[in-house]
Structure 1
Amino acid sequence: MDKAGISDAASPLAGTGQVTEATAPSARVFRCGFVRHWVPLAYREELYQVLRLTGPLLITRILNFLQPFVSTIFVGHLGNAELAGYALASATINVTTSATGCGLALTCDTLVSQTFGSKNLKRVGEIMQRSILILLLFCLPCWAVLINSESILLLLQQEAEVARIAQMYVYAFIPAVPAFFLHQLQVAYLQNQGIILPQMYTAAIANVLNVALNYTLIFWMGLGVKGSAAASCISQFSISLLLFGYIRWKKLHVSTWGGWSMASLQEWDSFMKLAIPSTLMLCFEWWIYEIGGFLAGMLGEVDLAAQHVLLELGAITYMFPLGVHAAACVRVGNALGAGDTRQALITSKVVLFVSGVLALLQGIVLGSTKSVLGRIFTSDKAIVEIVSENMTFYVFLQFVDALVCVSSGILLGSGKQKIAAIANLISYYCIGLPLGISLMFAAKLRVLGLTLGLLVCVIIQACFFITVILKLDWKNLTEKAQKRAGKNGKVNCVGQKVPLSVPVLDNMMPEGPDNPEHVPAGGTV
């Protein structure tokens, strides 16, 4: 353990000895003799590590989801026109800025996780510098689109007053775009080193600040929609600055940041080869739901409201597989970067199992409460009935979609996002969307038609992704990961028995004199 508080165990291969039943950290959790007999130690160890990552990641994602959710509640009290304007502004920002920015930042989930796993720590800093420059440059086209939001919305036949309110909100949010992008990179930087808790702390503080700012600016100062946009802007700056301050305070950057380097101006082509498919992978999935809202709006206000309720419920339930997705990406990337092919394969199988179990539990809850879920959002009986009808099939949709989500995390960690991007394009836009539109309008199933179209789509995706993962040349992926990390180390192939160890991810926050909040996990064995 060095003075900066960064663990010496920089990869899944950092152990100093063979893990036994007695010394394994998972032994504290899996004490059942049946489990120990039927589940190999390697899988129990990996399940233990994945669950320890997934918990804080899940809470962090829920906290991040709450910020726009709270803004929706506040703006909703201003009037229908204001709420509609806010909805359009949010959709515009999501489609043109959030989806693309998050997609570009996903590149770090591949590069940082693999490079950190290889112990080439200073290269992690170079990757972050390169990412910062590229995302800050990407602010320019985003601003160009956002500035012209009103004109674009009018071309799409939106109401003039609603488009005007949307533009007002977007104008106030524009300064926050760089802060939003930098925060995505900060999260990727820490997360792929197995450092999770700082993001959770800062997200909690930002949520409290967001509520206070929305109330003060909207009602106390009477700024209306402008106040909500300003609150979102300030909250975005605050969460980015808080996380930056925490990194500096706890010296979490010392082992990976060697200062600004000319190397950050190199290898942009290799970065973009991963960045473009990463962005398309996310955007193809994100945009399909925005399109679904537009299609539901063509059916009338009741169907649009029901679709919105389904989207809100879907966003909440999606947080669980998304937490496993992030854990999968970190674990697979770290293992490949460390040259441990066997560990990457074990991780892939374990995270798919975890996502399936969580989705099954979610399905039981959703299925048993489907008749009352709609009442959380509205008292309109027609909307509640539509939500209940769709929830019967959404239970199966969310189960299969959880497998798709985690599979994409595995592909992202292994640097195969191009496969996921192409699969998303074909399945969503060549199968799911045409089928959904046909069922919505031609078969007159309305919103249920879109749900069924997406269900067929994700079933095909899940089968394809799982088949691809099992058929991948993992040894070749390991060698490529070593090259990306700037190292050509020894590759531990599938079937070769290697000692299991507790990786750096056992430290959700680095341990050391500068970090009293360390979460102990049994140390390195």
Structure 2
Amino acid sequence: MMANTSIVTTNTSNSDPLLEEDGGEEEEENRGIRWWNRVLDMKEAKKQVWFSMPMIITNLFYYLITLVSVMFAGHLGNLQLAGATLANSWATVTGFAFMVGLSGALETLCGQGFGAKLYRMLGIYLQASSIISFIFSVIISIFWFYTEPILVLLQQDPQISKTAALYTRFLIPGIFAFGFMQNILRFLQTQSVVLPLVFLSMLPMLFHIGIAYSLVNWTALGFKGAPLAASISLWISLLALAMYVAFAKEFKHTWTGFSMESFHYIFTILKLALPSAAMVCLEYWAFEILVFLAGLMPNSTETTSLIAICVSTETIAYMITYGLSAAASTRVSNELGAGNPEQAKKAMAVTLKLSLLLALAMVLALAFGHNIWAGFFSDSSAIITEFASMTPLLSISIITDSIQGVLSGVARGCGWQQIVVYVNLVTFYVVGMTIAVLLGFKLNLYVKGLWIGLICGLSCQTATLLVITLRTKWTKLNLSENGDKENPLLV
């Protein structure tokens, strides 16, 4: 972490006018820095920027592993592209997103445990959460095995469904690695060990390009080689992280080896893990429903492509916000664990300001470069023109999403996952989807109507989370090693 650079004002003598002049300039500079510090706590901001940037890069590299596989599969033909794209979307909403959410329990328990200096418990929580991830990976694998009949039941094209099902089956080994990997990432994140993650995620990503190319083009696997390459690369990523935790000296207090004690904490973690998974999935599913609804509109090819570009843009913007969301979760949980709720609130305020600044930068880039950005997705002048008309609405949703992303991170740090599940359910599905259907279909606003509905849902979610954050007492969990292992209480 970087500390604020201190500025020392030199005592000057009246007999040296040059030094007096320099001192005046220095005093003026000090006043400028003090003014800026009232707007944004630079010491805290530097900590969070140095924390969030590696997290953003790391998540991007891991995200690219599955995306690159889709690209290699897509070059084999239109059917393979459609099948791989559908399979990747299906795997994300039914498996990968769930695993990301499931590991959210560690953001609360490991974060507060580290702040409370209960270092040994972090390793115990990691093992317990990994056991839970393994159990759910088995369940997801069975579900994925029946992908084809489920997609056909959802009115998807039979040929594309068959191709997507084949792709998904070869991703099954990857879901196990991905689940374990997310737990280790939270374990490291809550200890503010993030810089090594850039290297540990970049290497598997680079290897993955070679593995995917080789399996798709140089073996008889062909199309099946793309998802298999993703599974292999995810396991390489997991092994790299596991070896780092096992052999790095900095974890000698937080990782003391495998212990049967971890089984005693499975239900404790499950009480936070399931709501945390529901938090993530409810939001992911809302965006996927928009794509599905766009496919039911007139000129469905154009509307689906347009909404897909908007969803992809929002997702990439949120990946940047997620780094700050992780920073908020870690700072809040660490400070609460240490018994410093006021410092936790100050950290949250800094994260919100940083998130808004980044969101505004993304909005400006979108405002000036929306045609170039849309051109990456489509050569159709009609879609590029329609996307330009969507830019103002997309800007609003990006700004709103940047605020709620930080507030969701605060909620994970405080252990409020159960409350946020109900918030997301009501705001996205009762409010957002209802307005989206009404505006999109009844008032014939089409894609704009769908996105306005999403904005309404996001706005209600953000406002509700803000009220909860401001009105709820910030307390830490009872994480004493001698405490009630089945039910950590707020104290």
Shift of residue 28, structure 1, vs aligned partner: 5.7
- Contact kept in structure 1, 2:216 and 2:225, CA below 8 Å: yes
Shift of residue 42, structure 1, vs aligned partner: 9.7
2:231 aligned partner, one-letter code? C
| 1:484 match | 479
Change (3 A) 1:440 1:28: farther
1:377 aligned partner, one-letter code? F
Shift of residue 66, structure 1, vs aligned partner: 2.0
| 1:305 match | 305
Superimposed CA distance per residue, residues 275-307 of structure 1 (whole angstroms, 9 cap, x where no aligned partner): 121111111001111111111222311111122
Q: Distance in 1 between matches of 2:73 and 2:264?
A: 45
Q: Distance in 2 between matches of 1:160 and 1:115?
A: 50
Shift of residue 266, structure 1, vs aligned partner: 1.2
- Contact kept in structure 1, 2:51 and 2:194, CA below 8 Å: yes
Q: Aligned ranges for residues 99-178 of structure 1 at < 5 Å?
A: 99-178=97-176
- Contact kept in structure 2, 1:356 and 1:403, CA below 8 Å: yes
- Contact kept in structure 2, 1:370 and 1:392, CA below 8 Å: no
Q: Compare relative contact order (CA 8 Å, sep 6+) and give the higher one, 1 or 2.
A: 1
| 2:3 match | 25
| 2:469 match | 469
Superimposed CA distance per residue, residues 15-42 of structure 1 (whole angstroms, 9 cap, x where no aligned partner): xxxxxxxxx9212699763232463599
Is residue 436 of structure 1 aligned with residue 414 of structure 2?
A: no
Change (3 A) 1:221 1:117: same
2:402 aligned partner, one-letter code? A
Change (3 A) 1:445 1:253: same
Change (3 A) 1:164 1:472: same
Task: Select between 357-366 and 89-98 the one with higher mean Cα deviation.
Answer: 89-98
- Contact kept in structure 1, 2:245 and 2:255, CA below 8 Å: no
SS at match of 1:193: coil
1:126 aligned partner, one-letter code? I
Q: Aligned ranges for residues 204-243 of structure 1 at < 5 Å?
A: 204-221=202-219, 223-243=221-241
Change (3 A) 1:173 1:252: farther
| 2:321 match | 321
Superimposed CA distance per residue, residues 433-475 of structure 1 (whole angstroms, 9 cap, x where no aligned partner): 111122222222222211111111112222221222121212x
Superimposed CA distance per residue, residues 40-73 of structure 1 (whole angstroms, 9 cap, x where no aligned partner): 5993322221111111112112222222332232
Shift of residue 486, structure 1, vs aligned partner: 4.0
Q: Distance in 2 between matches of 1:304 and 1:332?
A: 39
Shift of residue 484, structure 1, vs aligned partner: 2.6
Shift of residue 485, structure 1, vs aligned partner: 4.9
2:201 aligned partner, one-letter code? A
Larger radius of gyration: 2
2:365 aligned partner, one-letter code? V
2:451 aligned partner, one-letter code? T
| 2:82 match | 84
2:446 aligned partner, one-letter code? R
Superimposed CA distance per residue, residues 349-395 of structure 1 (whole angstroms, 9 cap, x where no aligned partner): 11111111111111111112223321122111122122212122101
Q: Aligned ranges for residues 240-255 of structure 1 at < 5 Å?
A: 240-255=238-253
Change (3 A) 1:485 1:288: farther
Is residue 45 of structure 1 aligned with residue 82 of structure 2?
A: no
> How high is the TM-score relative to the length of structure 1?
0.84
| 2:424 match | 424
Q: Distance in 1 between matches of 2:243 and 2:221?
A: 30
Q: Distance in 2 between matches of 1:96 and 1:444?
A: 31
2:256 aligned partner, one-letter code? G
Q: How many residues align?
A: 461
Is residue 448 of structure 1 aligned with residue 443 of structure 2?
A: no
Q: Distance in 2 between matches of 1:246 and 1:79?
A: 40
- Contact kept in structure 1, 2:407 and 2:466, CA below 8 Å: yes
Q: Distance in 2 between matches of 1:427 and 1:287?
A: 13
| 1:296 match | 294
Q: Distance in 1 between matches of 2:116 and 2:36?
A: 32
Q: Distance in 2 between matches of 1:271 and 1:310?
A: 35
- Contact kept in structure 2, 1:120 and 1:487, CA below 8 Å: no
- Contact kept in structure 2, 1:378 and 1:384, CA below 8 Å: yes
Q: Distance in 1 between matches of 2:207 and 2:270?
A: 36
Change (3 A) 1:286 1:187: same
Q: Distance in 2 between matches of 1:414 and 1:244?
A: 27
Change (3 A) 1:305 1:32: farther
2:479 aligned partner, one-letter code? R
Change (3 A) 1:115 1:93: same
Q: Distance in 2 between matches of 1:95 and 1:319?
A: 16
User: Unaligned stretches of 5+ in structure 1?
Assistant: 1-11, 13-23, 489-525
> How high is the TM-score relative to the length of structure 2?
0.89
2:4 aligned partner, one-letter code? S
Identity %: 30
Is residue 190 of structure 1 aligned with residue 188 of structure 2?
A: yes
Q: Distance in 1 between matches of 2:66 and 2:173?
A: 17
| Structure showing the higher helix proportion among its residues | 2
- Contact kept in structure 2, 1:130 and 1:268, CA below 8 Å: yes
- Contact kept in structure 2, 1:54 and 1:323, CA below 8 Å: yes
Task: Select between 77-86 and 108-117 the one with higher mean Cα deviation.
Answer: 77-86
Q: Distance in 2 between matches of 1:217 and 1:38?
A: 54
Shift of residue 405, structure 1, vs aligned partner: 0.6
Q: Distance in 2 between matches of 1:248 and 1:259?
A: 8
- Contact kept in structure 2, 1:198 and 1:243, CA below 8 Å: no
- Contact kept in structure 2, 1:173 and 1:233, CA below 8 Å: yes
1:27 aligned partner, one-letter code? T
| 2:22 match | none
Task: Select between 352-361 and 256-265 the one with higher mean Cα deviation.
Answer: 256-265
Shift of residue 196, structure 1, vs aligned partner: 0.4
| 1:371 match | 371
SS at match of 2:57: helix
| 1:505 match | none
Task: Select between 253-262 and 180-189 the one with higher mean Cα deviation.
Answer: 253-262
- Contact kept in structure 2, 1:143 and 1:174, CA below 8 Å: yes
- Contact kept in structure 1, 2:275 and 2:418, CA below 8 Å: yes
Change (3 A) 1:193 1:29: farther
User: Unaligned stretches of 5+ in structure 2?
Assistant: 9-28, 484-491
SS at match of 1:267: helix
SS at match of 1:484: coil
Q: Distance in 1 between matches of 2:40 and 2:459?
A: 30
Superimposed CA distance per residue, residues 248-297 of structure 1 (whole angstroms, 9 cap, x where no aligned partner): 33234321123322321113332222112111111100111111111122
Q: Distance in 2 between matches of 1:295 and 1:107?
A: 32
Change (3 A) 1:259 1:64: closer
Q: Distance in 2 between matches of 1:175 and 1:57?
A: 25
